[in-house]
Amino acid sequence: MTEARVSVMDRGFIFGDGVYEVIPSYGGYFLRLEQHLDRLDASLAAIRLDNPLARDEWRSVLRRLVGAPPAPDQSVYLQVTRGAPASRDHLCPADVAPTVFACASPIKPRRPEIATEGVACITRPDIRWLHCEIKSTSLIAAVMMRREAEDASALETIMHRDGVVTEGAVSNVLMVASNTIMTPPNSHLLLPGITRELTLLLAEEHGIRYLEEPVPLETLRNADEIWLSSSTREVLPVTRLDGAPVGDGRPGPLWQHMDRLYQAHKEKVRNGDV
Ligand code: PDD
């Protein structure tokens, strides 16, 4: 990988003019590959960039990267930028070929303390733009938020706009009250997370109630449970928010239930059954 080269004029480098995906694979089988590739199509369409690869070409490139089953658990990072024109101009000439980059890296197993102790989060105003549904490589706000979390010994920053929760810097947010999952509805204010969607599907399949509704920050603070979801971290229990305990300060029963369902689903993926 250190020998791969990209032009210094690449618009990903100069403007952050690109989109990306992170797709987990278990045993050589991808989790929700088509949904990730659909979201890539949506991101590319939103920035008006034609997808340089056909769906079949993506499937074969990605499968080649992770290797044939049974392969180690890996996540694939892929990005498409608008390419490398001769000069810097916000307006890109039409004849520039997009740059495609993809690599696979091992998925680190979850630390056992996470299931017993959970993770800490902080809250901050959402300082991002108004097209958060696009999985854009322009991630400066997420980088700043991740640093703020780290400085507060927290894993993630949960963001809100005018007191209404949007999402984490690199994850979606779900909460539990009265045995019901609540999560902000998809909109331009958050990324339509594939893990969030899978969590809601599993809830539906197993008769767990859920609502996709705006979540005021004060409601989040009073939640019985708070969860984060992302492809690389699955569903995580949040047990401290801005230094205060969430619920009784332990990972909750509904998280434990959902985690079992999620792990069972992963096993099916690993065995090529979904
Ligand atoms: N990020 N919201 C944001 C802003 C994200 O960056 C991510 C994931 C999610 C969760 O989406 P999904 O369940 O599809 O992974 C929500 C990836 C993992 C990243 O940037 O590394």
What are the structural domain ranges in the chain? 11-106, 114-270
Nearest to 96 by CA among 6, 5, 10: 10
What residues line ligand 1, using a CB cutoff of 6 Å? 22, 167, 170-172, 191, 193-196, 229-232
Ligand 1 probe mutation, 32, 160, 167, 172, most atoms within 8 A of CB: 172
pLDDT at position 2, please?
Answer: 76
Whether the full predicted model's pTM is greater than 0.85, yes or no, is yes
- Average pLDDT over the chain, rounded to whole? 98
By CB atoms closer than 10 A (0-12, 13-18, 19+), residue 75 is: buried
Q: CA-to-CA distance for 146 and 140, rounded, in angstroms?
A: 10
Residue 142 CA: which ligand 1 atom is closest? 4
pLDDT by residue (tens digit) across 42-65?
A: 999 999 999 999 999 999 999 999
Spacing, Cα 87 to ligand 1 middle (Å)? 32
pLDDT by position in tens, the chain (length 274)? 778 899 999 999 999 999 999 999 999 999 999 999 999 999 999 999 999 999 999 999 999 999 999 999 999 999 999 999 999 999 999 999 999 999 999 999 999 999 999 999 999 999 999 999 999 999 999 999 999 999 999 999 999 999 999 999 999 999 999 999 999 999 999 999 999 999 999 999 999 999 999 999 999 999 999 999 999 999 999 999 999 999 999 999 999 999 999 999 999 999 999 8
Chosen CATH of 11-106 out of 3.40.50.261, 3.10.200.10, 3.40.50.10490, 3.30.470.10: 3.30.470.10
Q: Which CATH class is domain 114-270?
A: alpha beta
Whether 114-270 and 11-106 are alike in CATH topology: the answer is no
Q: CA-to-CA distance for 201 and 210, rounded, in angstroms?
A: 10
Give the strand pairing for 180-183 and 210-212: parallel
pLDDT by residue (tens digit) across 186-197?
A: 999 999 999 999
Q: What is the DSSP letter of 169?
A: S
Ramachandran region, residue 269 (left: φ > 0; alpha: ψ -120 to 50; beta: rest): alpha
pLDDT at position 220, please?
Answer: 98
Instruction: Answer yes or no: 135 catalytic.
Output: yes
